[in-house]
Amino acid sequence: MPQSGSEWANAFPWSLAYRWGHSALAVDFDLSGDTARLVCVRRPGDPEQGEADALLPLVDVVLLGESSGWSRSLFTGSALGERLRYRAHRSAFVAEDGPGVRWHRLVVELWDPESGVAAFGEYASPDGVSVLRSRVRLRNEGDAPVTVRSVGSLLLGGLPSHDELTVFQGREERLTECRWSADGPLTMGALQCRADARTWLWQFESASRGVWAVGEAAGRTYLALGGPAPDEHRRSEVLEPGAEFASGWVALALGTGFDGARGELTAYRRAVRRPRRLGVGPGAS
């Protein structure tokens, strides 16, 4: 992470939109207005999704003693998530020593002046692979301790409406169709568009099973992925001033049909298993 403001060379507080990715992945952000948002994750050539009224905040964090917003599923609609403001971003394109996978990496920095909490949305993708890897890291930049109750790893709204999608849930490599509005402690899940077979397949990269939710907002579908919610395990994370805490990594693969999405996820898994010298694999800090 950069240690001074001058290192954020491509910060752009006046910009409204930002597209990041490569030949197999396009990720669009909206950094205008009061709340930064993730607009769309797609393959080049796929329909562009995302409507302003259907988008979630880029980051969702619930602190002890604060409202969690509207009646909500996990990792969506927190008061702090709505307050976090864009501060800077940094992107990089790196490669391992010798032959290997090249990685695109992005950090988007947000800050809440009320609580003093800074949130870093961290994203990575192997070049040429239709997979987005994501987590959120928090830092207490205030003068008093804060207690984190939950933090999401990836929030994506503006997906096709619920009557266009089938939702699947699974443990390990087995996926089964389930009722529409679903959430639960599972290792994998998927959404599939019935019209064109576009598929969003996700996995959690943690020893603990992750928690996900699929729901509806403004006539569109949202997907919320996170590590185990601290409340579910009767624990919270106390951040003293200067301390940090990170959610678990999640990976979202895009493809046509399950075979297409699974092929992209397999290529991604091979990439993260390669020797890691640049902190891009599952053990990256």
Q: Which pLDDT score is estimated for 233?
A: 45
Contact 216, 48 (CB under 8 A): no
| Residue 281 pLDDT > 50 | no
The residue that leads in pLDDT, 125 or 33, is: 125
- Check pLDDT > 70 for residue 179: no
Q: What's CA 49's distance to the chain center, in Å? A: 16
Whether the pLDDT of residue 191 is over 90: the answer is yes
Work out the pLDDT band at 54, boundaries 50, 70, 90: low
Q: According to the model, what pLDDT value does residue 273 have?
A: 80
Beta bridge partners of 109: 88, 120
Residue 180 pLDDT exceeds 90 = no
Cα separation, 191 vs 199, in Å, equals: 6
Q: What is the pLDDT at residue 53? A: 62
Instruction: Give the torsion through C-alpha atoms of 50, 55, 57, 61, to 10 deg.
Output: -120
Give the pLDDT band of residue 278 (cuts 50, 70, 90): very low
- β-strands 85-95, 210-217: how paired? unpaired
Nearest to 211 by CA among 169, 177, 158: 169
Dist CA 212 CA 226 (whole Å): 6
Q: What number is the average pLDDT over the span 262-269?
A: 94
pTM: 0.84
Report d(CA 127, CA 136) in Å as an integer: 21
Chain-centroid distance, C-alpha 143: 28
pLDDT of residue 11 exceeding 80, the answer is no
> Model confidence over 199-238: pLDDT tens digits?
999 999 876 667 888 888 778 899 999 865 554 544 678 9
Residue 14 has pLDDT above 60, yes or no: no
**Alpha-carbon radius of gyration of the chain:** 18
CATH 2.70.98.60 for domain 26-273, yes or no, is yes
Summary mean pLDDT of the chain: 80
| Weakest mean pLDDT among 79-83, 136-140, 172-176 | 172-176
Give the residue carrying structure tokens 């507080």. 13
Mean pLDDT along residues 25-38? 87
pLDDT score of 178 more than 60? no
C-alpha 94/C-alpha 103 separation (Å) is: 5
